[in-house]
Every structure is written in structure tokens, then in C-alpha cells.
Structure 1
Amino acid sequence: MPFELTILGSSSATPTSERYPTAQVLNALGRFFLIDCGEGTQIQIRRQKIGFSKIQHIFISHLHGDHFYGLIGMISTFNLLGLKKDIHIYSPSQLKDIIQPQLEFLKAGLQFNIVFHPLNFKKPQVIYSDKKVEVTSFPLKHSINTCGFLFKEHPKEANIKKEYVKKYNIPIPEIIKIKRGAGFQTSEGEFIPHEELTTPPPRPRSYAFCSDTAFHPPVAEIIKDVDLLYHEATFTEELKEWAQNTYHSTAREAAEIAKMANARQLILGHFSARYKNVSPFLKEARAVFPNTVAAEDGSRYEVGE
């Protein structure tokens, strides 16, 4: 099953001719999660051929305009397309008040409910979970209340070795127990441990989104061993003081978080429009964390590869 991230926007406060403001879509085992919704998100979703009807869960990290100004347009498009399933929005509680007047204007023809889920800015909290995926929000360090998001695949059950099923004629109820961690006792009284009967399942995949934030080491423990990390890198080290004053990170600081978290791969993004190319970001980050790439609008990344 796919676990794939699509970058829709990778610029910071203002868009450029090549980069839209922050927005991403994560396809986690067939669940399509929209992460932030800057201006132009609809256009990028069209370009990437992502079906609007697949998106029911929207995560808004904070209430700076470059992270949510595309939201009311998205909601309007959902309505014009005749979508009827509820839309769930995980965001700061104030977002409901901000867009309520616009929603009231659409209300006469709105064909679905919008369910708001307020974020917790004091500690990590599971905000979504189903049989296959869990999403945890966690506080970041920014000029206003901001959350990051950790998307994790639930652990799969172990795979039972077919030769043992045949050899010991293991019944289906016992197979289910074995997959969940039990051993098996044969009709002759011999006990076969779980580890011998099975092969380990694939390691659960995970993706973490960290934008916007100043350098904040506590995040590293929350996202420990994450497969793919997107971390804002608005500036390079030459503007570190400016990054600190605006509660943003440099490319080097993003790489340090990735290293502390033992991430497998780092994606840099949220680049300031003052930079004409991202080579300095990559050079700076790779000196600390070699497996680093720079986000490009429209690029896709397999989580866990």
C-alpha cells in the first residue's frame, strides 16, 4: 500500500513564480491527508491529478495566512463538485471563527458538514486514528501557537510461516493468535515459540511535518526514528539571527533536528523568497545530515524507501 508525500507548496510567507505557499498531500495507505492549505493549493491539486473527493481530513498547523488562505476556496470547490462526505479540519480553535462568516455565506448550498477539531499546543496528542494510521499533533516553537504532525502506520501483525501451518495442522483461530504474538502447542505437547513460527512484519512507516518553528530540540524525541521528516528551513546560517527573531529555522538547524531524531531522510522547505536557488540550503544541511533533499513543488517522496 502507498505511503507517499506530494509537495504542493514549499515557499514561505510569499509565493514566487516557482513556489506556492505551504501545502502537502500525504497518501497514507489510501487515506489522503491535506497538510496546510496556502493560496494556490487547489491549482496544485489539479496539476498533480489528486482527486478532491479523496480529501476528507485537513490539518492546519497555525494561523499565519500562508498556511490556510487557500482553505475557503477548497471548501467552496468541494461544494461545487457535489461532495457530501463530512470534512474534518484539525486546526487552532480560532480558525472556526475566522472562516465562519464565509461558511455562513455558503451555508444555503453546503452539502456536507465541516467538523472542527481544536489542536493542543501544550503537549503531543493523538488527533486521528483508524485501523491502519494514527496522527499525532505536537507543539512547535513559533511566534503564534503552532503544531507539527506525525503520521504513523500502525504495526502490522507477524507473518506465519506456511510450512509450520501445514506441518502442525494449525487451525485458523490459533493462526490468528500466533500472528498477534502467541506460540503454539502441538498435539504431542511440544511448544513452538512465536519467533520460530513467524517472520517479522515490515517496520511501520512514519512521516513528520515541522513547519513553522524555531530550533526546538524537544521535537526530536517526539518524532524519534521517523522515516521522512519535512522541516522548515526559511533561512541559511548567514541569517540565523533573523531566523531566531522570527521564530524560524535555518537549514543547519533543520538538519540537527533530523540527526537528533535519527530520521532516515530530511526534506527542507518553507524557503524565504529572497533566495533564488536552494543550493546553499542543501550544502549547509548535508554537512550535518547527508540524506537531505530540498522540496520542489510537485515532487513526490515515498515514505520508508
Structure 2
Amino acid sequence: MVCLEVIFLGTSAAMPTPDRSLSSVVINRNGTLLVFDAGEGMQYNFIRAKLGFNKKTTLFITHMHSDHILGILGFLQTLSLQGRNLPINIFGPSPIREFIMENMKLLNIKLTFELHVHTISGSQGVALKDKDYEILYCKSEHGPGICSFAFCLVEKERPGKFDIKKVKALGIPEGELYGLLQKGKNIIFENQTIYSKDIVGKPRSGRKVGISGDTRPSNNLCNFFRDCDLLVFESTFSSKEIDKARESYHSTAIESATLAKEASVRKLCLTHFSSRYKDLTDLLVEARSILLNTELAFDLKLLKIDYDDL
């Protein structure tokens, strides 16, 4: 079974607090690390989370605001100082390449690994394709002139359940024939055709995890996050500050929960909290009044995402 975990490295908004760092979240899929945003100093919690310095790692940047990108250079340098040799790919809005390359030049940062920076554009698309999953992106709404994106990890379908009782009842020996049936191949056993569809159930969906970045809620994002097993959505303000949320193109807890409910999300986790809130209870109460299966993120929080058919 493929392990899928989400680890929060930073959960504060524009300003860090004594117990909350700036924005960064990691999806760990069986040791492959998918890092979304890199707020200043995020490598500290990356080290504390013991995620590993030389694993397959890709960075995705939602937008070019300082609290989401100033940790990139420090993170890369930390990996280099630890002797990393595997390449890293970074995906983000068009200024991302210039920002990284110019600052590496000014600071004379020399890496021990290859770095590949890719720009993404348009309203929606595929940032990364893997044999088992894709990372999709969708344009979000974070203000005029600001290019911002939300992301989704979408796993590919899994084979249906293998009916072990049925194959044993047929007397089929374990080994190669089992493998062929599981791969959808029909077999001949004792002069009888055994059809894979009679042994293996219908394909089962993979898991889906959404990352909002900074944004106002929108119909596009609601459709983009449809049927997420976990949605990580910003909740900068409570409903009392709805005017501030609209003015700064952020979301309130109620708005985040409403979008998640309309999108049939299984679980919502709120993050990116304004430093004005010393106690987040009110935000959680607001969100749970809409979607009960809502949690608050905190630095180093880990969430495991199980298959919905277990």
C-alpha cells in the first residue's frame, strides 16, 4: 500500500509567530517529497520533520509573495550543505526562474545537485506527470496583477480488488497466473478460460489532495477541488473580518468550509492564519458549522490520507 502523508512546515500568514512559521506544506508519497511553497526559514521545520535530504523532491510555488518564496534559497543551500546529489525541479509562476537564478548569483550559492526551474501559465493544466499520479494546477484569485495558482495531487486509478477466495476455489496456484489476472489478462487453466473481470473488481479511484495557496474562493476552485480526500485551504481571517478578506484577496474560515462542502471534500484542513489570532477556536467553530470534518493545521502536524474504500 502506498503511504500518503501531508506535513505542515509553516502555517502562519504574512508574519510568523512564536509557534507558527511561514507557509510551506509537504506531501510525502512513499518517500517522494512534493513541497508546496517555501516561506522564510522553512528548512528548519523540514529538518525537524526528518523528511530526508536526498529524496526525490519537487517544489511547487503558488505565487510570488515573500512569505511563500523567501525560503527557497535557504532550503536549496541546506540540501547542498548536506551533500544532496539528486536533481530538484521547481514549478511556479513566470518570475520564479529569474528570482531564483539572480539571487543565487548575487549570493554566490553553489549547489551540489542539478536545479531545473519550470514556469507554469494559463488557467489550468498539468505541472508534473508521474506514472502513478499527476500534479494539476488551476489559477486562483489573489488580486489584480498577481499570478497565483492552486495545486492538486491526483493519483491514477488502482486495480480492482482481487477475489482471493474465488481463485482458490478454482484451484488456481499462486504465482504467475495470479499476476496475469491482476493485470487484467484472461488465462487458460485446466482447459477453461478464466476471465480477469470475474476475479478482479472494477478499478478503484486513487487519492486526491488539494492545496489552495492564497486566494478568494471561486467556482473554478470548487470544481478543481471536487472530491478531494483532503483539502488544505487558507483561512487567514474569521468571518468578522470578511471585509479585510475581500480587500486582501484572502478567505475566511466559513468561506473555506463552504467551498469544501460544495466540492464534496472528505476532509478540510485550514491553514495560513493571520497573526492577529492567538486562539483559533473561533475559526474552527465557524468552519465546523459548515463542514464538520474540519481541522486546524499547526507546524509539524502530520495527516495520513487513507483510501476511501478501506
Question: By the TM > 0.5 criterion, same fold?
Answer: yes
Unpaired runs of at least 5, structure 2: none
Q: SS where residue 37 of structure 2 aligns?
A: strand
Q: How does 1:283-302 map to 2 (within 5 A)?
A: 283-302=285-304
Q: Which amino acid aligns with 1:160?
A: F
The aligned residue for residue 179 of structure 1 is 182
Does the alignment pair 1:12 with 2:6?
no
Q: Taking structure 1 as reference, are residues 183 and 62 closer, same or farther at Cα in structure 2, changes over 3 Å only?
A: same
Unpaired runs of at least 5, structure 1: none
Does the alignment pair 1:110 with 2:115?
no
Q: SS where residue 5 of structure 2 aligns?
A: strand
Q: Taking structure 1 as reference, are residues 242 and 116 closer, same or farther at Cα in structure 2, changes over 3 Å only?
A: same
**Alpha-carbon distance between aligned partners in 2 of 1:2 and 1:172, rounded to the nearest angstrom:** 25
Q: SS where residue 218 of structure 1 aligns?
A: helix
**Alpha-carbon distance between aligned partners in 2 of 1:184 and 1:155, rounded to the nearest angstrom:** 23
Q: Give yes or no for contact 2:36–2:60 (8 Å, CA) kept in 1.
A: yes
**Alpha-carbon distance between aligned partners in 2 of 1:96 and 1:193, rounded to the nearest angstrom:** 49
Q: Give yes or no for contact 1:91–1:118 (8 Å, CA) kept in 2.
A: yes
Q: SS where residue 78 of structure 1 aligns?
A: helix
**Alpha-carbon distance between aligned partners in 2 of 1:216 and 1:108, rounded to the nearest angstrom:** 40
Residues 9-49 of structure 1 show CA distances to partners (whole Å, capped at 9, x for unaligned) of 11101111111110011111321111110012011112112
The aligned residue for residue 78 of structure 2 is 77
**Alpha-carbon distance between aligned partners in 2 of 1:218 and 1:41, rounded to the nearest angstrom:** 30
Question: What is the Cα deviation at residue 191 of structure 1?
Answer: 6.8
The aligned residue for residue 256 of structure 1 is 258
**Alpha-carbon distance between aligned partners in 2 of 1:292 and 1:35, rounded to the nearest angstrom:** 21
The aligned residue for residue 27 of structure 2 is 26
The aligned residue for residue 135 of structure 1 is 135
Q: Which amino acid aligns with 1:220?
A: C
Q: Which amino acid aligns with 2:114?
A: N
Q: Taking structure 1 as reference, are residues 108 and 50 closer, same or farther at Cα in structure 2, changes over 3 Å only?
A: closer
The aligned residue for residue 271 of structure 1 is 273
Q: Give yes or no for contact 1:48–1:298 (8 Å, CA) kept in 2.
A: yes
Question: What is the Cα deviation at residue 175 of structure 1?
Answer: 5.2
Residues 73-94 of structure 1 show CA distances to partners (whole Å, capped at 9, x for unaligned) of 1111122122122110011121
Question: What is the Cα deviation at residue 225 of structure 1?
Answer: 0.8
Question: What is the Cα deviation at residue 179 of structure 1?
Answer: 3.1
Question: What is the Cα deviation at residue 193 of structure 1?
Answer: 6.6
Equivalent of residue 229 in structure 1, options 225, 228, 231: 231
Q: SS where residue 273 of structure 2 aligns?
A: coil
**Alpha-carbon distance between aligned partners in 1 of 2:220 and 2:72, rounded to the nearest angstrom:** 30
Question: What is the Cα deviation at residue 231 of structure 1?
Answer: 0.5
Residues 136-157 of structure 1 show CA distances to partners (whole Å, capped at 9, x for unaligned) of 1111111211111101222122
Q: Give yes or no for contact 1:226–1:262 (8 Å, CA) kept in 2.
A: yes
**Alpha-carbon distance between aligned partners in 2 of 1:128 and 1:289, rounded to the nearest angstrom:** 31
**Alpha-carbon distance between aligned partners in 2 of 1:175 and 1:128, rounded to the nearest angstrom:** 33
State the superposition RMSD in angstroms.
Answer: 2.4
Q: How does 1:96-107 map to 2 (within 5 A)?
A: 96-105=97-106
Q: Give yes or no for contact 2:217–2:251 (8 Å, CA) kept in 1.
A: yes
Q: Return the TM-score normalized by structure 1.
A: 0.90
Q: Give yes or no for contact 2:26–2:34 (8 Å, CA) kept in 1.
A: yes
Percent identity reads 30
